[in-house]
Amino acid sequence: MHFIKKVKDDLIWVGANDRRLSHFEGVYSVPYGVSYNSYLLLDEKIVIFDTVDKAVRKRFFENLAEALGGKKPDYFIMQHMEPDHSAAVEELITRYPDIKIVCNARTLEFAKQFYSFDVDARVQIVAEGDTLSTGRHNLSFVMAPMVHWPEVMVTYDSTDHILFSADGFGCFGALNGALFADEVDFAKDYMDEARRYYTNIVGKYGDQVMALLKKASGLRIDMICPLHGFVWRSNINDILSKYILWGSYAPEDYGVMIAYASVYGSTENTAEILSGKLRDSGIRTVMFDVSVTPPSEVVSAAFRWSHLVFASTTYNAGIFVAMEAVINDLVAHNIQKRTVAIIENGSWAPTSGGLIREHLGKCENITFIDETISLRSSLKAGQLSEIDAMANSIIATMPATAVVKQQIEPPVQSSVDMLTMFKLSYGLFVLTAKDGDKDNGCIINTAAQITESPLRVSIAVNKANFTHDMVLKTGKFNISILSQSVPFRVFEQFGFCSGRDTDKFASSAYSDRSANGIRYIPEGANGVISGQVADSYDYGTHTLFIADVTQAFIISGEPSTTYQYYFDNIKPKPQPKTEPKQGFVCKVCGYEYEGESLPEDFVCPLCKHGPADFEPM
């Protein structure tokens, strides 16, 4: 039986979930399953975006038939050739022989390797910036090589501002009946799986991810439709901000990940004592026994935390096998910009520490703590000072903000620290007013109920705002209470320009008005309050308005946003600045070689192509 989900009125999810798969790509454990997403666009020309893995092919075709309702698709956009998204292509061609395959030239090469049908006769080749009109929708194509295969491209629908992102912004885990990230507690239940997916599948290709993010930064994106995991339609900056950190190899959190390999417990004991000392000093720590924890989880944690400690016994004159696998995985996934400390153990010839350092030394911007601890079978009392020294060296490289204060010292009497004011909880609102034919609005952060009978609210408005003058003149206003799903463009629309010389509603897709005739903001708001000014007080830079509530209604059940939530989750994070580079870029996969000249025998470390496939930056 089919199971489909509506993404938008003319866009249907026709993918499937697999909860029986134990290891994705035969390597990465997926205890919560995985989804294979495919999308059907029902326009004048009907479009299918990618297919699914062979394990769920039957369900895919049931879903597709139901969503098509007897119609035939015109185009199949093949964004990614990997078989978990293309295993159903040959059957798709058999069922719909007139369908046209839209792909890029590199995908065509791969398709000929995978399929036995005449691919050339069915393709429409597209390149960077090419467009396809399907009727109401206009699709454009953006190349994304090595995110995470060389042929990958993404598709942008400029009509509904949707990014079909291929493997980008994906996540491990079956969808369990939901479709959108805002239908679940993504931060609590899925962010770890999104990080684990990114770091292990895409993590090696940070430069290529940042190149794609740079292209995407010029697009208005209201929705992201990935090939694994949930569709993003709100709070998109939650995942974008993570990708900026992950793609640039910047740590998400300051703290210490301790991974240990211990045969008889002595190395584990030493690691635990170090963790306790760091915790006593207010430093957050997490610990992993690499013998029982899948390497993918350790790699994911290494991408999250700023400082890494590796504690390993020596085994066969080398690194303990489970630890060696983790170290090799981290090097293969291009871990960078971390501070590393090492603990080694060996009853007669401890060598694991030096070998770990040698391996990780191949990575960029790795800073090693000088204090390496070398054990002979077990930790002795005389070596506790070495643990203290290692803990102190780690703490010394942490910013002051990383230290979790155990006790708040009493404040100095009669002192005023202005930063304290930011500890107050502020909401965010769009204040709107109308004067004659002029509608206007601005962002405010101070609105509160002051009495219940009569029902009154207060708002504080900066006198520099044109809306302030309109409220002062007319005595009427609306406040739209912004929710956590409010898109950043609302702040751009009402906070980044002046209504004195701009029509802030000129490009709005809505024209809603309350009973007082004043416009309000339905997009990203959870409620509206209309006010009639009863009194006002001049406080220098601001006017405090006291108003009777004349109307109030709820728009949604979304939580209200706060000033802090805006800064943490809605306002775009600045991308790391990059200095101009001199060198050559691979035309196949995007790998960058820095230098004035490219060696004649150079081979691309990613795609293995030679100098003929490189061009100057």
Confidence of residue 428 (pLDDT cuts 50, 70, 90): very high
Evaluate whether 77 touches 134 at the Cβ level (below 8 Å): no
Confidence of residue 419 (pLDDT cuts 50, 70, 90): low
Q: Mean pLDDT, to the nearest integer, of 458-471?
A: 91
Give the containing element (helix H, strand E) for 564: helix 563-565
Q: 330-346: per-residue pLDDT in tens? A: 999 999 999 999 999 99
Q: Is the pLDDT of residue 421 over 70?
A: no
Instruction: Give the model's pLDDT for residue 408.
Output: 47
CATH number of 422-567: 2.30.110.10
- The ranges assigned to domains in the chain are 5-247, 253-402, 422-567, 583-616
Q: Is the pLDDT of residue 615 over 60?
A: yes
Q: 465-491: per-residue pLDDT in tens? A: 899 999 999 999 999 999 999 998 898
Confidence of residue 399 (pLDDT cuts 50, 70, 90): confident
Q: 509-535: per-residue pLDDT in tens? A: 788 999 999 999 998 999 999 999 999
Q: How far apart are CA 22 and CA 27, in angstroms?
A: 9
Q: 338-391: per-residue pLDDT in tens? A: 999 999 999 999 999 999 999 999 999 999 998 889 999 999 999 999 999 999
Give pTM, 2 decimals.
0.75
47, exposed or middle or buried, with CB in 10 Å at 0-12, 13-18, 19+?
A: buried
- Per 3-state DSSP, the chain is made up of helix, strand and coil in percentages (nearest 5) of 30, 30, 40
Instruction: Give the model's pLDDT for residue 218.
Output: 84
Confidence of residue 588 (pLDDT cuts 50, 70, 90): low
* Sign of torsion over alpha carbons 309, 311, 316, 317: positive
Evaluate whether 315 touches 344 at the Cβ level (below 8 Å): no
Q: Mean pLDDT, to the nearest integer, of 194-204?
A: 94
Instruction: Give the model's pLDDT for residue 112.
Output: 94
Q: Is the pLDDT of residue 418 over 80?
A: no
Instruction: Give the model's pLDDT for residue 314.
Output: 95
Closest CA to 576 of 250, 236, 220, 306: 250
Quick one: tokens of 172?
A: 């491990």
- Higher model confidence: residue 575 or residue 460? 460
Q: Is the pLDDT of residue 607 over 70?
A: no
Instruction: Give the model's pLDDT for residue 96.
Output: 97
Q: Mean pLDDT, to the nearest integer, of 302-315?
A: 96
Q: 144-184: per-residue pLDDT in tens? A: 999 989 999 999 999 999 999 999 999 999 999 999 999 99
* Sign of torsion over alpha carbons 288, 26, 180, 492: positive
Instruction: Give the model's pLDDT for residue 589.
Output: 66
Percentage of residues in the chain with pLDDT exceeding 90? 74
> E strands, 85-161, where?
100-103, 123-125, 131-133, 138-143, 153-157
Q: Give the chain's mean pLDDT.
A: 91
Instruction: Give the model's pLDDT for residue 169.
Output: 95
Domain spanning 5-247, CATH architecture: 4-Layer Sandwich (3.60)
Q: How far apart are CA 312 and CA 348, in angstroms?
A: 14
Percentage of residues in the chain with pLDDT exceeding 70? 94
Q: Mean pLDDT, to the nearest integer, of 199-215?
A: 91
Which segment, 82-91, 398-407, 539-548, is predicted with the most confidence on average? 82-91
Q: Is the pLDDT of residue 420 over 70?
A: no
Domain spanning 253-402, CATH architecture: 3-Layer(aba) Sandwich (3.40)
Q: 44-70: per-residue pLDDT in tens? A: 999 999 999 999 999 999 999 999 999
Instruction: Give the model's pLDDT for residue 576.
Output: 58
